[in-house]
Amino acid sequence: MFQQGDDPNTAHAEASHPGPESARALRAELDEIFAKEARTGVKADPERVAAYVAAIEDAEADQHSAAPSQEDFEKTWTHFTENHPDLFPPTKTKARKRGRRILHFVEAAALIAVVLVVTAAACGWQDYIVEWGRELLRITPAPSGVMTLAEPNTDGFSTLAEAVADMEDARAPTWIPARFSIKDIAIQEAPAYKVATAVYMADGSKLLVRISRYLEAEDIPYFNFEKNDDEKQTEVAKGGIVYYYTENGETFRVTWKDENCLYSISGEVTREEMDRIVNSFYGG
């Protein structure tokens, strides 16, 4: 969680223009990305994965528009079973008749979907969902709420990312729960710091994202707040950063320091949603 990936813009550009490469070659490159992730323990950049998936779809669309042939499916199925022997113990059941191959294809696709979902959960890819699509299975980013104002605010900013663009080392989220929509962006400046706050609303529920950038790191105030008796507070250390989670009823708050910046998120969201928001600050 909270792993910084490669430059998403560069990765997207490389994967979104397959050129003469075939879908098979692109799939091989994507397999290598996941293999590297397994070897090193460093998670693949989700935006890069999404870019490869989109490029593969484009390449396959250029090659043919028909459904995959039975021969292609048999090769893919054989490769899948060889790489997941624990899912397919030896059996004495007779081979299915040719007339049931379509049913076999659907059952296989359903099993692959289950494996993808379980794998995604195990690897922390909460920002991805599995959909039925043109190629039967498709992995796409979970939908985000509205993060752009219909009209710029008084400072001329339409997004929180624009508001922190001139704040060195500052990051902004790229995902919020789909039910929220941005309502306002406020800027506060002082000689020692600058603060940008975005307000998101959803049927009376509020989500606040505050990003403060200090000229000197030592000026960042102590923020491990004392908690009330009815509050639950936990600390999560990851990548050299300590994240302070506070829960009070249905409201979650997380606060952390990174470089010269202080980040704070609070709102009526679940712990999983809060983790996704934090992940999005770092490309997840």
Residue 57 is predicted with a pLDDT of 73
pLDDT of residue 249: 81
**What φ, ψ does residue 90 adopt, rounded to 5°?**
-55, 140
DSSP SS3 for 128: strand
List the chain pLDDT tens, one digit each, 284 residues.
334 444 444 444 444 444 445 777 888 887 888 888 888 888 778 778 778 777 777 776 665 544 445 565 666 667 666 766 665 666 555 555 555 555 555 556 556 655 555 555 555 454 455 444 444 455 555 788 999 999 999 999 999 999 999 998 899 999 999 999 999 999 999 989 999 999 999 988 999 999 999 998 888 876 554 455 555 678 999 889 999 999 888 888 999 999 999 999 999 999 999 999 999 999 87
Write out pLDDT tens, residues 237-275: 988 999 999 988 888 899 999 999 999 999 999 999 999
Q: Which of 239, 271, 240, 238 is nearest to 254 (CA)?
A: 271
Report the sign of the C-alpha dihedral through residues 167, 46, 44, 9, in that order: negative
Kindly report, residue by residue over 47-87, the tens digit of the pLDDT: 787 787 777 777 766 655 444 455 656 666 676 667 666 65
pTM of the full predicted structure?
Answer: 0.52
What stretches of the chain show up as alpha helix (H) in DSSP?
A: 8-16, 23-40, 46-63, 70-83, 101-123, 160-163, 271-281
Distance CA 42, CA 36 (A): 8
Q: Residue 2: what pLDDT?
A: 37
d(CA 193, CA 209): 16
Looking at residue 230, its amino acid is: D
